[in-house]
Amino acid sequence: MKKNLLCLAILAATSSVQAQVAVPVKTVSGFVGIGASAGGDKLATAFYTDGDSANIKAGGGVSFTGGLNFRINEQFSAQTSVTFHVDDQTASNGSLKFQRFPIEALAFYHINQQWKIGTGLRYVTGAKLSGSGVADIRDTKFDNALSSVVEGEYMFSPQLSVKVRYVNEKFELKHRSGEVKANHVGVSGNFYF
């Protein structure tokens, strides 16, 4: 009887210790993502032959992202990424496009296994408004810009997440005076590998 109680006590202690051991976290992982954003000043308007129109906005469009995630410990992580962000209106006889290439560095606090919040900096290069065909316009180029980012991320699993973010951004016209507000909100889906 004493042997059985001793075995049960050892088994209970062992399973308790095993339950407390955290699942190892991969310290460096890659990720890719796709997102959409809205906001910012109107840069141009595309008019279609059926009477419809669409605006190109300084903070709008779709984004394609790739980067690295660095897990520092259970509560903190950091990310670096490179993105292609574009707002594009295309028809058979012409197109209008505003494109830019953001590079980001963000730090995150993990609230729990699913939720994390972060903030950081975004450096945007290659911002340009251009047109072709019947929408041909003189290219408008913008100076590189440094912006701030705040975002929240929900992890469905260790590989899949959704992010919601706010970017405080503005662009200065290159070679002439003028400023364009590009503040925007965005939603994206990420895959970690």
CATH at residue 162: 2.40.160.20
Residue 110 belongs to a domain? yes
What percent of the chain shows pLDDT beyond 90? 69
Does the pLDDT value for residue 16 go beyond 90? no
Residue 4 belongs to a domain? no
Q: Residues 6 or more apart from 11 whose CB is under 8 A from it?
A: none
What's the pTM value of the predicted model, to 2 decimals?
Answer: 0.81
Residue 180 belongs to a domain? yes
Distance in angstroms (rounded) separating the CA atoms of residues 56 and 42: 6
Residue 169 has a pLDDT of 97
Given the DSSP bridges, would you call strands 160-168 and 170-172 parallel, antiparallel or unpaired? unpaired
Predicted confidence band of residue 95 (pLDDT cuts 50, 70, 90): confident
Does the pLDDT value for residue 115 go beyond 90? yes
Residue 10 has a pLDDT of 53
Task: Output the CA angle 83-89-91, nearest 5 degrees.
Answer: 135
Residue 142 per-residue DSSP state: B
Q: Residues 6 or more apart from 74 whose CB is under 8 A from it?
A: 22, 25, 110
Residue 78 vs residues 44, 144, 190: alpha-carbon distances, Å: 36, 23, 15
User: In total, how many domains does the chain have?
Assistant: 1
Domain holding 58, by residue range, is: 27-192
Q: Are 184 and 60 in contact (CB under 8 A)?
A: yes
Does the pLDDT value for residue 25 go beyond 70? no
Residue 151 belongs to a domain? yes
Residue 8 belongs to a domain? no
Number of other CB atoms surrounding residue 63 within 10 Å: 18
Distance in angstroms (rounded) separating the CA atoms of residues 49 and 175: 34
Supply 58's token pair.
Answer: 């300084």
* Dihedral pair phi/psi, residue 108, rounded to 5°: -125, 145
Residue 24 has a pLDDT of 55
Number of other CB atoms surrounding residue 56 within 10 Å: 22
* Dihedral pair phi/psi, residue 148, rounded to 5°: -110, 150
Residue 3 belongs to a domain? no
Residue 6 belongs to a domain? no
pLDDT in tens, 68-94: 999 999 999 999 999 999 999 887 778
Residue 142 belongs to a domain? yes
The residue whose two tokens read 């507000």 is: 181
Supply 100's token pair.
Answer: 């830019």
